[in-house]
Amino acid sequence: MPNNMQSILSLLVLPIMVRFSGFLTYAQSLTHSSMSNRYGAISSTSGLYAINTHESVTMPTGFDYGCPNMNAQYLFTLPADSGEDFVAAEHLPLVVYFYPKDSTPGCTTEAQGFRDSIDAFKAAGYTVVGISRDSVKSHQNFVCKQELNFPLLSDKEETVCKQFDVIKEKNMYGKKVMGIERSTFVIDANGELLKEWRKVKVAGHVDEVLAFVQQPA
């Protein structure tokens, strides 16, 4: 009796397995065809697809993708201490300096340096702007207290800070934290990066930036 049952089961199951195998082959051919139409040539090895796309990929501007020879545009929009949005594309050429925090000793000294040299930067054709993660309200207090004569921009979400790759690991009071590495960038009239300073030391820095932008074109 058991042998008879096995024979009956085999007769019932075998057609189902054959049909299912045929369905898998058909589905695989459809998937292969669909992917080929969309992505180009496809090769299959051990069930894994390798896609060779012939479509060109356009990367958005305004970001550094780690390619040292890439002429990326460094354009952005952020809220300013004035309460209005600062659109970088409308103020080129531009000196952008990133600093850790309003009203701290080093940041105050740096801001005062740009304040005192602002007329020389304007004469060279450049707009100066400072960026930190502080709020607009904090910037307003800082501007008022130090009588700053250039915009301070708030990047609370670190969007532009990451665009310029200035968020770095820092050691503060024995603890490792992520913060802004003091940096300055000169952007030309086409929105391209001309010069950058990283790990900036405040003393003499403003004079160095000014000397660079005053150079004959």
Which residues are known to be catalytic? Answer: 107
For the CA atoms of 184, 188, 194, 200, what is the dihedral angle to 10 degrees? -10
Tokens of 164: 């310029």
- Per the CB < 8 A criterion, the answer to whether 114 and 152 are in contact is no
- For the chain, how many helices (H) and strands (E)? 6, 11
Q: Where does the chain have alpha helices with state H?
A: 2-39, 105-116, 118-123, 136-146, 159-163, 205-213
Integer Cα distance of 204 and 201 in angstroms: 8
- Which phi and psi (to 5°) does residue 132 adopt? -145, 180
- Per the CB < 8 A criterion, the answer to whether 184 and 96 are in contact is yes
Concatenated DSSP letters of 193-204? EEEEE-S--STT
For the CA atoms of 151, 75, 65, 99, what is the dihedral angle to 10 degrees? 0
Angle of helix 136-146 versus helix 105-116 axis, rounded to 10 = 60
